[in-house]
């Protein structure tokens, strides 16, 4: 059975005031008025109020126990909660007028997912690990911070794994402070400068090799450059460079290039190829990484050197000169012939045969 009313239907309280009005002309359902606050409730089959719109402007969505899980208040606040047993825990809160958004709580870590056009999570803010993830497979992530002129001042490029700081009209700076607030590391883009250390906190620059061994140390306290190689070498053009081993004695040829020595007491001696044994160069001058016909030649310091003791047993401290054995040194037995042809001094003995010993390079 149904009845159709043309116009309005009014429901009045005991004082004759209209508190519910259904207006067929406008399609309005008005609850409250005439001195009465109005509330709109939707009940489930068990008679529990599951949806409530209150006269204060609040909207409440409730569970089967009439616990409000979603609340939107008239002053612009939103609360989303979940229940665990008899307890109620926050999941999301938007607080007005602070414009503060809180996601997650004691038992529900907060996560924000922003998806791209393919439905992939391109940006994820994960509260449980306090992590921010930007990018997805097929959609590299970038974080861009602009200055007040709209220029990209900081750019974290996920595709190239690069960090760009600064731009035209806005030079970049990277500043690291210590626990006392002192600026101890400064990368200045304007003058292309790197400053390390500050008053009360001396700076150090340390460089390690692939094995984790310290190789170079710029010591701010002493002002020293500490290298852990043993000699000072310089790259030279060397004839047949690929066939010449570290520890070989080299001389100057007529073209100005270097070659292996092959004559005794050769005054054109230039030095010893660095890098033999456990002694590497501490400093290399004139390095050209793309040149294949060059070798680092130890000019001063300690270096392992090929020697021939069949020309005379070698003792520690003996002066060494070129031998007629290719690429080898030998003991100086004729000081007059050795003038201008001395390579250095032996730091270890060799009684007979050919071998490799450490020497102190000191060209004379």
282-335, pLDDT tens digit by residue? Answer: 888 888 877 788 999 998 899 999 999 998 999 999 999 999 999 999 999 999
In DSSP terms, which residues pair with 236 in a beta bridge? 295
**Residue length, the chain?**
364
Q: What is the pLDDT of residue 312?
A: 94
For residue 293, the SS3 value is coil
Q: Is the pLDDT of residue 231 over 80?
A: no
Residue ranges covered by each domain of the chain? 8-103, 231-362
Q: Which of 34-43, 95-104, 265-274 has the highest mean pLDDT?
A: 265-274
Residue 94 DSSP label: E
Least Cα distance to 311 among 301, 295, 322, 296 occurs for 322
The residue with greater pLDDT, 9 or 337, is 337
CATH number at 231-362: 2.40.300.10
* DSSP three-state, residue 68: strand
236-276 pLDDT, tens digit each? 999 998 899 999 999 999 999 999 999 999 999 999 999 88
When pLDDT is averaged across residues 183-198 and rounded to a whole number, the result is 88
DSSP assignment of 69-91 equals EEEE-TTS-EEEEEEETTEEEEE
Distance CA 132, CA 123 (A): 7
What is the mean pLDDT of the segment spanning 139-147?
90
Q: What is the mean pLDDT of the chain?
A: 88
Residue 346: predicted pLDDT: 95
What digits encode the pLDDT tens for the residues 74-84?
A: 888 888 888 88
């Amino acid at each position: 059975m149904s009845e159709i009313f043309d116009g309005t239907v009014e429901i009045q309280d005991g004082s004759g005031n209209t508190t519910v009005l259904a207006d067929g002309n406008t399609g309005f359902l008005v609850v409250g008025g005439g001195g009465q606050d109005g509330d709109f409730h939707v009940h489930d089959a068990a008679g529990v109020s599951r949806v409530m719109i209150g006269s204060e402007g609040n909207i409440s969505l409730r569970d089967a126990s009439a616990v409000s899980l979603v609340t939107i208040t008239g002053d612009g606040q939103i609360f989303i909660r979940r229940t665990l047993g008899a307890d109620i825990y926050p999941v999301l809160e938007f607080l007005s007028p602070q414009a503060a958004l809180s996601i997650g709580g004691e038992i529900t870590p907060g996560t924000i997912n922003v998806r791209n056009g393919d439905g992939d999570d391109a940006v994820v803010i994960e509260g449980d690990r306090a992590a921010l993830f930007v990018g997805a497979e097929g959609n590299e992530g970038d974080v861009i911070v602009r200055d007040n002129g709209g220029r990209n001042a900081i750019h974290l490029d996920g595709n190239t794994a690069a960090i760009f700081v600064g731009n035209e009209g806005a030079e970049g700076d990277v500043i690291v402070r210590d626990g006392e607030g002192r600026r101890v590391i400064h990368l200045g883009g304007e003058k292309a400068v790197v400053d390390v250390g500050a008053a009360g906190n001396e700076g150090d620059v340390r460089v390690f090799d692939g094995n984790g061994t310290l190789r170079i140390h710029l010591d701010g306290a002493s002002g020293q450059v500490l290298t852990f190689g043993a000699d000072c070498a310089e790259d030279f053009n060397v004839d047949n460079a690929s066939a010449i081993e570290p520890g070989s004695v080299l001389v100057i040829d007529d073209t100005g290039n270097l070659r292996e020595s092959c004559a005794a007491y050769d005054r054109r001696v230039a030095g010893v190829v660095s890098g033999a044994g456990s002694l590497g160069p501490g400093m290399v001058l004139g390095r050209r990484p793309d040149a294949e016909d060059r070798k680092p030649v130890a000019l001063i310091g300690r270096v392992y050197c090929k020697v021939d003791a069949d020309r005379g047993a070698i003792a520690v401290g003996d002066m060494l000169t070129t031998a007629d054995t290719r690429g080898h040194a030998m003991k100086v037995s004729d000081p007059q012939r050795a003038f201008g042809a001395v390579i250095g001094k032996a730091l270890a003995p060799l009684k007979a045969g050919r071998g490799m010993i450490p020497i102190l390079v000191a060209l004379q």
